[in-house]
Structure formats: C-alpha cells, structure tokens
Structure 1
Amino acid sequence: MSNAPRIDIDVSEFWKDPYPTLSRLRRDTPIAHINQLGSTVLCGRDDIFACEKMIDVFSSDQPTGLMTKLMGQNMMRKDGEAHLKERQPFFKAVSPKAVATQWLEQFRAHADALISSLPNDGHADFVADIALPFSAECLKSITGLTNMRYQDMNAWSQGMIDGISNYTGDPAAEARCHEATAGIDAAIDDMLPVLERHPNLSLLSTMVASGMPMDSVRANIKLAISGGQNEPRDAIAGTTWALLDDPDQLAAVRKGDASWLNAFEEYARWISPIGMVPRRIAKSWSIRDVRFDEGDRIFLFYSSANRDESYFDRADSFDVKRDTSKSVAFGAGPHFCAGAWASRAMVAEVALPQMFARLTNLRITDRNAVKLGGWAFRGLLSLPVAWNEVKARTS
C-alpha cells in the first residue's frame, strides 16, 4: 500500500464543495491517502499530467473497479492496443469531421425544437427543463438509441454515474446502476435490427459494423451515455449560470472579447464536470518520497489540477478571457475524451449562442436556489431562470 500521508475528510462536505479540501491538499500534501475514499489521490497538475501518459504504471485496466464491474470493460478501462482497437471505430462516429457533417445540424434541430416549445414570458429550471432534454436528444442521435425517451437517457446516465462513483458502498446506488444498464441493453437489442437494415454513423451502428464484440459494443455505449449526457448537460447549465451570475463575463462574450467556446472551456476548468479519474498501479513506483505498490488504487483529481495556482492565476475565479490551454478538463493522455469535439459543438456552437440569442432577458430568478453537488462528477442541481420572449431561429 502507498506510504502517502493518511488524511480524513468529511465526505458529505466534500460532495458539497471539494475545492477547499483540494486546495489544502495541493498546498500541504499533494499526494495523500484519503481514508474515507480508500484511495491515494494526486492533486498537483504536473503529477497528473505526467502520470496520465504513463500507462505502464498508472493503468486504466481495473478488473475490480466499479465501472468494469457495473458497466462492463469499456475502452476507458483498457490500455495500449486494446484501447486503440475500440477507440478507432468509436472515434469515427464522433470525429471533428463527423461532428461537422453529421451531427451539428441535428444538434441545431434539437435546440430549435426545444427552444421553440418554450413559452413567452416563461420560467423554468434550466437544468431539468432545458439543458437536460437538449443534451439527451443529442445523445440519442449520436448513440443511435433513438428508441428511448430523453428522460430515460438522463435517468440511466445518472444511475450509472451514481453507481461508478459509489465509493462508500451505498446499495441503493448500485441497484439504480443495475437498472440503468439493463434498460440500455434492452434499448440496444431493439435497435440492432433497425440499424442492420439502415446503417448510419451513430456509435452503435459504427461499432457493430467494425466487428467489435457485442460485449464491448454494449460497454462502450454505456460509457458514451454515462459521460455523454451528464457532462454536456452540466456544462450547458453551468456555463449559463456562470455567465448570468457575472454580467461582465457575459458582456465580454457578447462584445466578442471572448467566444462561447472560451466560456465553455473556462467553465470546464473552473467546475470540472469530471472531477477525477481512477487508476490502478501496475508496478511499484515512486514519485519523490511517495512509494506506490502494485495494485494500489489512485485517483487523479482533474478538478484540483484545473485550479493549480502554479498554472492559473486567481484559479477560483471564472474568467472567460483566461488562457485555458493548460486545463486537463478533457484528460491529458491517451484517454483524452473521444467525445470532446461533439461536446464543444453541442455546448459552444449550438446551445449557448442559441439560448442567449433567443431567450430575451434570460436571468436567474432565485440565486439562493442555485445548488451544485458532487466531487467525482460535479454539476448544477438546479438553476431557476426566467425570460421575456422566445425569438425565432435566425440561422
């Protein structure tokens, strides 16, 4: 077992706001074993950036890990050739070219349908009523699971997220995860004959056509849903909140001093939707005076790296003009998020500009009701908003 310093945390407080604890860890013990999480954590950006690339030591292959046990072994839990063999057909469906030629106009259509359905002089929970259905409808298209409801896409994604971050062993969270994976398997079974007759560029169709074993196809569809729903949903809602909460930041984007993509990338740095990734120590290793033993479980805290004061001035502040090139929000090594281009298009090319252009006087109605939660995965739980008018789509 790692000889890193042992520390205790209040898990409930960490879930509410992990950043004070992570700040102390970066300052005092950037490598530490958190007893309540049963894992050694790395908090400094330099360590995380380097270790992400050392797959022979910091392995993604975790046979006993929660994701593998609950969702099957997907490409995120494989390294080297095994990872690339599955990543290549997966990436074909979400490459920059595929996003531009196949998905961008569908994203715009989903946004138009959703925004056009909203009433003039309306109010809503932006998370549940706007960001959630938009993200889910886009993900239905990308995965090829157009036979499911957007509500099921979101619920099953959240069920898996809760399951694979269930490091405290809550049996109810595990049960919800099993229900989610069973629902996804049933949806896949229903769509397979449809896509066999009418193949397309969706993830399901592309992976099946590649000859990938069905166990791997299922595991990778579950991976796409677990991350592809909550991350864009939370980024759309979160960036909207950050901009509405700071009129100067919104004004900078509207004036062209920063882009919608700048705003999205800065939000992903500031409130990392993926807060950490687990790794398994494949062979004994040391970083400075900390020794790791084979089999140790390691958490790489992206959320901490993205607020490392060595790289980001005023790291706790949201600033759309910031240089985010050192952010690791999408990863830093061979497991860099394959869906990053789809996410950027969904959030920065479609959702944010469309919603701010068409919902006039979009505003937060109750700042006390705005809530965030999570540390492994973090996002807004509620965002009450109102607007005066819904404008027609102009492009």
Structure 2
Amino acid sequence: MSAPAAPAPGAPVVELDLAELRDDPYPAYAELRRTAPLAWVPSVGRHLLTRYEDIVRAEKLPEVFSSREEGSLLLRTVGPNLLREDDPVHRRLRAAAEPPTRPRQVRDLWAASFERTAHQLLDRLEDRGEADLIADFAEPLAAANLALVLGLRTASAHDIADWSRAMMAANGNYADEPDIWLRAERATRAIEDAVAEAVDAVTDTPDGSVISSMVHAADPVSPTEIQNNVKVVIGGGVNEPRDVFGVGAWALLRRPEVLERVLKDPAVWKRVFEETARWISPIGMYPRQLAQDHEIAGVTLPAGSRVALVIASGNRDESVFERADEFDPDRPHRPHLAFGGGPHFCMGAWVARHEVSAIAWPLVFSRLKGLRLAENTPDRLDGWVFRGLTSLNVTWQTP
C-alpha cells in the first residue's frame, strides 16, 4: 500500500500554519467543517477529516481506514503497537492488555490506591496556599497511578511523566525536530529496561497489572510487543487524565456558578468529565491510511491516502453540539469522540474517568478551601495533536 504525499484528485488544498494550530486550532477547524470537510493540508502531509459524522463513519470502517499507516510518527517513536494494527493482531494484543483497565477492575483493584496517592499529594500542598495544579498534582497523580496499573514497580511518577512527555512530543513531531526524536529515543530505551524488570517479577508472581496480564495471556505476547505497547499506554495514560483534570478545573474556576452546583451534587462530576473531554480533546487527532479507494465528504480517496481523523474538530461540530464552543456540563448528552471509537476505543478511558471525576476533582475542591485562579499568572492552552493547559496556577486559604 503506497502512501502518496499529495492531495487526492478533487480534494481542496488548505494551507495551515502549525504554530497557529498549536495556539488555537478551533477557528481553522470551523472553517474546514464549513468549506472543506476533507482537505489536504501540506504542512501536515495528509488529508484532515473534520466533520463529526464523517469521523464516526470512518471509525466504523476499519477495513477501509486502516490503522497500519506507513511511516507513522507513533511507529517511529515506539515500534509496532496495537494502536497501529488492525484485527486480528490488534484484537490479540488488546485482549491481552485490557482486562486490568475494565470498570470493575478499576474499582476493585486500583481505586483505593488512586485515592491514597491523591491524598498524599494534597498533604504536601495543603499548607502552601498556592500551586501549579498541573505540575504539582495532576501530572504526578496520573503518572503514579499509571505506574501502578501497568506494573512498573521500579519506575517513579517522575520517570513516567518524563517518558510520556518525550514520546507524546515525538508522536506530534510533524515539524521533524531532531531534538524531539532524541528525547523520545532515550525515553523508549528506559521504558524497555523497566518493562524487562517488571516481566521478570510477574512471570512467577502475577499481580493483576497490565504487564502481568500480557505475560500470562492465553494468546502469547512477545517481550517486544509488551515493551512497545507499554510505551503507547504511557503516552496517553498520562496526558489524557492530566489534561482533562486541568482543563475541567480551570473551566469550573472561571464559572463559579457551575462549580457551586457541582459541589452541591457530586453526581455531576461525571458530566463535567465528559464535557471537558469533548470541549478540549486531549488527543486531538489520529492518523489512518486508506486500504482501498473510498469516497467520503465528497472526495474519492485512492488506496494509500493518508487521513487524519480530527476528533477535536468533530467534538466542536455545531451540527451535533449546540453552542459547541462553550463549556456546558448541562448540555444534552451526545456521544463525544475524545476516546475514539470502534475497535480502537481508548483502553484507559475508565481509568481516566475514575481517577479524575471520582477522586481528583472532588478531593482537590474539598481539601483546598477557597480555591481560585492565581492573579497575574495566566494559564495557556497549547497544542493541536495533543492539547491541554501548560499550567494551572491557583491559590487557596491555608489551614
């Protein structure tokens, strides 16, 4: 399957500046949805598919929109992995890795430890009266929880967070910056060493972790497959819960009337989570490659064509979500695309939902009294392939 680095016949060509997309991609996405829902973007080297209904359609056709993209940035970063495989290989790897991340296992195996870690982090912060809740809380919480679920016994939360940042930067390195590739190579070598130690530990003593599940899978998984798929999980497993936590907390602190209602009814935290994931999709797009000729959004794409499913755009599609650019946890429910769909629905979705909506947000807002955004330290949203706050500077009343 060749991959022509050119627009499909009849596809509009739209020039987009990557720096502008990083700053705020949503105006460009709105224009694409309106005028060119499938467009070739030279700076990205692929067609962007931006309307909700077209993205959903593509996700339901994995035999056409293949995950096995030639030259994928993710493949270059971590090697062959379940996100860049189609069935039956994808099904085998997912069946081996997924059991520890299912809702019941999250509740029974991991929830108590997640809560204990959150309390420990808040114990260190409570007397300070100020913090960056991304660097000081959300990222170390997500990283520590991920190390536990994966079974990486010798990796610290700091290690996991560093590795995740390095690999996610490489996965979005469309500008091909050499320093980013170098950082990613160092991170992946360190992960391979940590996984090898974990495999040795659970071979005779299973511990319920993802690595343990893969080691003892009924359908064998090779050591290299375990290493590569742990790399993939470390990427999304940190940035998704970290960024949903940060953006959701930031949005609530800017809308105190909504925060007051949530605090009176903790059941609303779940709606806040889903709305935050829709409003600012932590993973904004992912690539596919056409396995056969196919017409979509008025354009016939030849086999081999590269496409990006821009789920951040689909989640702002005004034909599906009324007032789509607004943060509104009370909006009527419509399924968002933030965790993907079809066979590749995010394996860690239930972990993220529980650690953020059931633990992190309720504890932060209950323990840090009078929590408010810090003055004169504006927080900035950044990114388009992956998007979140670079910081969340807050103050509160000390005990």
Normalising by structure 1, we get a TM-score of: 0.96
Pairing 1:340–2:349 present: yes
Please identify runs of 4+ aligned residues in structure 1 that moved more than 3 A.
Answer: none
In structure 2, what is the equivalent of residue 161 of structure 1? Answer: 168
Deviations 1:129-154 (A, max 9, x none): 11111111101101111211211111
Name the residue aligned to 1:296.
305
Instruction: Give the letter aligned to residue 8 of structure 1.
Output: E
One-letter identity of the residue aligned with 1:249:
V
Q: Give matches, 1:249-328, under 5 Å.
A: 249-256=258-265, 259-328=268-337
Q: How does 1:1-395 map to 2 (within 5 A)?
A: 1-3=7-9, 4-210=11-217, 211-256=220-265, 259-366=268-375, 368-389=377-398
CA contact (8 A) 1:68 1:77 kept: yes
Note closer, same or farther for the CA distance 1:367–1:241 as it changes in structure 2 (3 Å cut): farther
Partner SS, residue 344 of structure 2: coil
Amino acid across the alignment from 2:167? M
Tell me the amino acid that sits aligned with residue 154 of structure 1: A
Q: 1:85-130: per-residue Cα shift (whole Å, max 9, x none)?
A: 1111211111111111101111111111111222425211111011
Q: Which amino acid aligns with 1:241?
A: W
- 1:368 to 1:324, Cα distance in 2 relative to 1, 3 A: farther
Identify which range, 322-331 or 202-211, moves more after superposition. Answer: 322-331
Distance 2:233 2:333 in 1: 25
String of CA shifts for 1:304-351, please: whole Å, max 9, x gaps.
Answer: 000100111111100111234321111121111111111100111110
Partner residue, 1:393: none
* Letter of the 1:374 counterpart: G
Conservation of the 8 A alpha-carbon contact between 2:126 and 2:367: no
- Unaligned 5+ runs, structure 2: 1-6
Change (3 A) 1:328 1:140: same
Rounded to whole Å, the distance in 1 between the matches of 2:297 and 2:354 is: 41
Task: Tell me the secondary structure at the aligned position of residue 70 of structure 1.
Answer: helix
Q: Supply the distance in 2 between the matched residues of 1:287 and 1:384 (Cα, whole angstroms).
A: 44
Question: Mean Cα displacement is larger for which, 194-203 or 275-284?
Answer: 194-203
Cα distance in 2 between the residues matched to 1:204 and 1:121: 37
Contact in 2 for aligned 1:269/1:324 (Cα 8 Å):
no
State how far apart, in whole Å, the 2-side matches of 1:288 and 1:40 are.
11
TM-score normalised by length of structure 2: 0.95
* Residues 206 and 212 in structure 2, CA contact (< 8 A), matched pair in contact too: yes
* SS of corresponding position for 2:339: coil
Contact (CA 8 Å) 1:258, 1:321: kept in 2 or not?
no
Cα distance, 1:61 vs structure 2: 1.1
In 2, are the aligned partners of 1:16 and 1:372 still within 8 Å (CA)? yes
Task: Give CA deviations for 1:142-175 in whole Å, capped at 9, x if unaligned.
Answer: 1111211211111110111010111121111111
- Report the CA distance between 1:15 and its aligned residue: 0.6
Q: Could you list the per-position Cα deviations for residues 56-81 of structure 1 after superposition, in whole angstroms to 9, with x for gaps in the alignment?
A: 11000124211112201111111122
Change (3 A) 1:338 1:298: same
Number of equivalent positions: 390
Task: Provide the secondary structure at the position in 1 that maps to 2:329.
Answer: coil
Paired residues of 1:70 and 1:178 also in contact (CA < 8 A): yes
Deviates more, 1:188-197 or 1:227-236: 188-197
Distance 1:308 1:206, change over 3 A: same
Give % identity. 38
Q: CA RMSD in A?
A: 1.4
CA contact (8 A) 2:321 2:334 kept: no
- Kept in 2: contact 1:311–1:326 (CA 8 A): no
